Amino acid sequence: MLVIVNETYDTMSAEAARIVADRLRKKPDLVLGLATGSTPLGLYRELIRLHKEEGLDFSKVTTFNLDEYVGLPPEHDQSFHYFMRENLFKHINVDPRFIHIPQGMAKDLSAFCDWYEQRIVDCGGVDIQILGIGVNGHIAFNEPGSSLGSRTRIKTLTGTTRQDNARFFKNLDEVPKYALTMGVGTIMDAKELLLLATNASKAAAVRSAVEGPVTAMCPASIIQMHRNAFVLLDKESAAELTGTYNDTWEHKIFTSGNHPHG
The tens digit of pLDDT for each residue in 103-141 reads 999 999 999 999 999 999 999 999 999 999 999 999 999
Average pLDDT over residues 180-190: 98
Closest CA to 47 of 58, 35, 63: 58
pLDDT at 175 over 70: yes
62 vs 164: which has the higher pLDDT: 62
Does residue 261 lie in a domain region?
A: no
Largest CA distance in the chain: 50
Q: pLDDT exceeding 90 applies to what percent of the chain?
A: 86
What backbone torsions phi and psi does residue 195 show, to the nearest 5 degrees?
-95, 130
Does residue 260 lie in a domain region?
A: no
The burial class, CB within 10 Å (0-12 / 13-18 / 19+), for 122 is exposed
What confidence category does residue 192 fall into, taking pLDDT thresholds of 50, 70 and 90?
very high
Does residue 259 lie in a domain region?
A: no
H or E element that contains 165:
helix 159-165
Average pLDDT over residues 148-174: 90
Lowest mean pLDDT among 43-47, 70-74, 132-136, 258-262: 258-262
At residue 256, the pLDDT reads: 47
What is the CB-side half-sphere exposure of residue 70 using CA atoms within 13 A?
A: 17
Q: Rounded to whole angstroms, how far apart are CA atoms 29 and 62?
A: 7
Residues 138-160 have pLDDT tens digits of 999 999 999 999 999 999 988 88
Of how many residues is the chain composed? 262
Does residue 28 lie in a domain region?
A: yes
Domain containing residue 127: 2-254
Task: Collect all residues with Cβ–Cβ distance below 8 Å to 42 and sequence separation of at least 6.
Answer: 9, 10, 12, 13, 14, 16
The total of structural domains in the chain comes to: 1
Residue 146: give its domain's CATH number. Answer: 3.40.50.1360
Residues 208-235 have pLDDT tens digits of 999 999 999 999 999 999 999 999 999 9
Closest CA to 14 of 36, 52, 45, 58: 45
Catalytic amino acids?
67, 136, 138, 143
Does residue 206 lie in a domain region?
A: yes
The burial class, CB within 10 Å (0-12 / 13-18 / 19+), for 154 is middle
Does residue 33 lie in a domain region?
A: yes
Contact 183, 120 (CB under 8 A): no
What backbone torsions phi and psi does residue 125 show, to the nearest 5 degrees?
85, 155
Does residue 144 lie in a domain region?
A: yes
